[in-house]
Structure 1
Amino acid sequence: MWIWEQHNWPEFHWNANVIAPLLRDVHFNQGLLLGKSEYEDARQATLDSLLSSIIYSSEIEGERLNAASVRSSLANRLGITEEKPYPTTERTDGITEVALDVIENSDSDLTLERILRWHQLMFPAGYTLFNPIQGGQLREGMIEVVSGRLDKPTVHLEAPPPERVVAEVLQFIKWFNKFRTDASLDPIIRAAIAHLWFVTIHPLEDGNGRVTRFLTDLALAQAENRSIRFYAMSVSICEHRKMYYKILESTQKGSLDITT
Structure 2
Amino acid sequence: MTTSAPTTPAHYIWQHPDWPKLGFDAQALAHDLNQARLQQGRLLGLLDAIGLTEAQEITRELWVQEAVATAAIEGEQLDLAAVRSSVAYRLGLADASTGDRHVDGLVEVMQDATDGFASVLDGDRLCRWQSALFPGGTSGLRRIAVGRWRDHADPMQIVSGRPGREVVHYTAPASSRVAGEMARFLAWFEATRPASQRAASASPDVPATTLNGLARAAVAHLWFESIHPFEDGNGRLGRAIVDMALAQDVGAPARLFGMSRQLLVSRGAYYDALSQAQSGPPEGALDVTPWVQWFVQAFTRSCILSQAAVKQALDKAAFRQRMSGLALNARQIKVLMRLLEAGSSELGGGFLGGMTADKYGKISATSKATATRDLAELLQHGLLRVEGVGKATRYAVNVAGWNQPVTR
Indicate yes or no: 2:139 matched with 1:149: no
Counterparts of 1:127 and 1:66, CA distance in 2: 19
- Give the equivalent residue in structure 2 for 1:135: 146
- Give the equivalent residue in structure 1 for 2:120: 109
Report the secondary structure of 1:145's partner residue: strand
Report how many residues are paired: 258
Report the secondary structure of 1:149's partner residue: coil
Report the secondary structure of 1:70's partner residue: helix
- Give the equivalent residue in structure 2 for 1:17: 27
How far apart are residue 259 of structure 1 and its match? Answer: 1.3
CA contact (8 A) 1:156 1:252 kept: no
Report the secondary structure of 1:180's partner residue: coil
Counterparts of 2:226 and 2:137, CA distance in 1: 27
How far apart are residue 102 of structure 1 and its match? Answer: 1.3
One of 245, 248, 260 as aligned partner of 2:274: 248
Counterparts of 1:145 and 1:128, CA distance in 2: 16
TM-score, with structure 2 as normaliser: 0.61
How far apart are residue 176 of structure 1 and its match? Answer: 0.2
One of 236, 244, 259 as aligned partner of 1:233: 259
Taking structure 1 as reference, are residues 198 and 228 closer, same or farther at Cα in structure 2, changes over 3 Å only?
closer
How far apart are residue 45 of structure 1 and its match? Answer: 2.2
Tell me which moved more, 169-178 or 148-157.
Answer: 148-157
- Give the equivalent residue in structure 2 for 1:92: 103
One of 247, 250, 256 as aligned partner of 1:224: 250
Counterparts of 1:42 and 1:156, CA distance in 2: 41
Tell me which moved more, 104-113 or 230-239.
Answer: 230-239
CA contact (8 A) 1:160 1:201 kept: yes
- Give the equivalent residue in structure 1 for 2:225: 199
One of 69, 82, 86 as aligned partner of 1:56: 69
CA contact (8 A) 1:37 1:230 kept: no
How far apart are residue 241 of structure 1 and its match? Answer: 1.2
Matched letter for residue 52 of structure 1: Q
Counterparts of 1:13 and 1:179, CA distance in 2: 13
Matched letter for residue 156 of structure 1: H
The percentage of aligned residue pairs carrying the same residue is: 37
TM-score, with structure 1 as normaliser: 0.93
Matched letter for residue 158 of structure 1: T
Counterparts of 2:146 and 2:80, CA distance in 1: 22
- Give the equivalent residue in structure 2 for 1:5: 15
Indicate yes or no: 2:188 matched with 1:188: no
Higher relative contact order (CA 8 A, sep 6+): 1
How far apart are residue 88 of structure 1 and its match? Answer: 3.0
Indicate yes or no: 2:288 matched with 1:258: yes
Counterparts of 1:239 and 1:248, CA distance in 2: 15
Counterparts of 1:79 and 1:240, CA distance in 2: 33
- Give the equivalent residue in structure 1 for 2:6: none
Report the secondary structure of 2:142's partner residue: coil
How far apart are residue 150 of structure 1 and its match? Answer: 2.8
Report the secondary structure of 2:138's partner residue: coil
Counterparts of 2:118 and 2:97, CA distance in 1: 32
CA contact (8 A) 1:46 1:228 kept: no
Tell me which moved more, 52-61 or 130-139.
Answer: 130-139
CA contact (8 A) 1:53 1:234 kept: yes
How far apart are residue 77 of structure 1 and its match? Answer: 1.4
Counterparts of 2:246 and 2:216, CA distance in 1: 9
Gaps of at least 5 residues in structure 2 are 1-10, 196-208, 291-408
Matched letter for residue 37 of structure 1: L
Report the secondary structure of 2:42's partner residue: helix
How far apart are residue 130 of structure 1 and its match? Answer: 4.8
CA contact (8 A) 1:3 1:251 kept: yes
Taking structure 1 as reference, are residues 126 and 170 closer, same or farther at Cα in structure 2, changes over 3 Å only?
closer
CA contact (8 A) 2:16 2:280 kept: no
How far apart are residue 58 of structure 1 and its match? Answer: 0.8
How far apart are residue 230 of structure 1 and its match? Answer: 1.6
Summarize deviations over 1:89-110 as a string: whole Å, max 9, x none: 1121121111111111111011
Counterparts of 1:130 and 1:152, CA distance in 2: 23
Gaps of at least 5 residues in structure 1 are none
Indicate yes or no: 2:179 matched with 1:159: no
Which has the greater radius of gyration?
Answer: 2
Counterparts of 2:254 and 2:24, CA distance in 1: 30
Counterparts of 1:71 and 1:127, CA distance in 2: 24
Summarize deviations over 1:56-89 as a string: whole Å, max 9, x none: 111111111111111101101111249xx98431
Report the secondary structure of 1:155's partner residue: strand
Counterparts of 2:106 and 2:216, CA distance in 1: 24
- Give the equivalent residue in structure 2 for 1:124: 135
Summarize deviations over 1:161-202 as a string: whole Å, max 9, x none: 011000001110000000002563101010000000000000
